[in-house]
Amino acid sequence: MIWIDTHCHLDAPEFASDRSQERERARALGVACCVIPAVAQRTWADAKQDAHRFGDAYALGIHPLYTPESQANDLQLLDTMLSANHSDTRLVAVGEIGLDYFVDLDPVWQERVLHEQLVLAKTQQLPVILHVRKSVDRVLKYLRQTHFAHGGIAHAFNGSMQQAHAFLDMGFKLGFGGAMTYERARQLRQLATTLPCDAIVMETDAPDIPPHWLYVDAEARAQGQRQGRNSPAELPRIAAHIAELRGVEIEAWAAQTTRNALAALPKLAHILPEAQVQAEATS
């Protein structure tokens, strides 16, 4: 039984002291591959380096929350970086890219950055890993405007069923992680339960979006208790929650979500051991 963490910021500073240990802990629990999406020009080299170091995958892009520090030249550098690494089997997508209307960002600039990155992904024939916080309809608009047809993943999806099917109709998979482990996340849990089995990929977004067993509320934090750090090692337990909600065996869910990840990010097939891919494809 293997798992793919389709969204894990293993290169983040939060893992500086124990990055190797956390990756090995996840591997021991069956996490065969992590996809490490870069968030800014200054993180591209680290994402690539860690993917090669740990036998994982990476994506290159400019995250909407990092658009305030980005410049037009960064888009040119991204074009150069994608071209230079096009033959790298561990480069599986352009990402993390998208829009974020939850925080106060320049909408014109972040939309320009998204549009140009979609064009780059289209040119390179790579899927995209999308950030869609409070921005699903706007992101869908840009996908349609650019006639984007290479699919990918709508990360941390939390939209409506109608929006979910809009992404699915365009060849995307939907990323689900720790947020759906909270009982109060009723809409998200309903989506995780009722979406088609081939619609969902598993992710942690580590070190962010901790599952409920790692969450520390504001009162406890005020008293000095530290927030739990998410990790790719939490993926099997998160996945078990969805499997239970859907009423399926955990082995079957592991096989299904692995197939889904391979469909969303086809170059992953070059990374996973051939025997494991074959086993998941036929189980």
Between CA 265 and CA 276, with CA 270 as vertex, the angle to 5 degrees is 95
Tens of pLDDT, residues 192-202: 999 999 999 99
d(CA 235, CA 247): 18
Tens of pLDDT, residues 237-257: 999 999 999 999 999 999 999
Query: Any known ligand binding at 150?
Result: no
Q: Which CATH class for the 3-282 domain? A: alpha beta
- What local confidence, expressed as pLDDT, does residue 226 receive? 72
Query: Any known ligand binding at 212?
Result: no
* Mean pLDDT, residues 37-62: 98
Tens of pLDDT, residues 126-159: 999 999 999 999 999 999 999 999 999 999 999 9
- What local confidence, expressed as pLDDT, does residue 220 receive? 67
Q: Is the peptide bond before 183 cis (omega within 30 degrees of 0)?
A: no
* Mean pLDDT, residues 216-230: 75
What percent of the chain has pLDDT above 70? 94
Query: Any known ligand binding at 46?
Result: no
Query: Residue 218 — very low, low, confident or very high, per pLDDT cuts 50/70/90?
Result: low
Query: Any known ligand binding at 147?
Result: no
- What local confidence, expressed as pLDDT, does residue 279 receive? 45
Domain boundaries, given as residue ranges, for the chain: 3-282
The yes-or-no verdict on residue 222 having pLDDT over 90 is no
Q: 227 phi and psi, to 5 degrees? A: -65, 140
Cα 60 to Cα 80, 179, 215, 234: the distances in Å are 11, 25, 29, 24
Query: Any known ligand binding at 155?
Result: yes
Is the entire prediction scored with pTM above 0.75? yes
DSSP 3-state of 3: strand
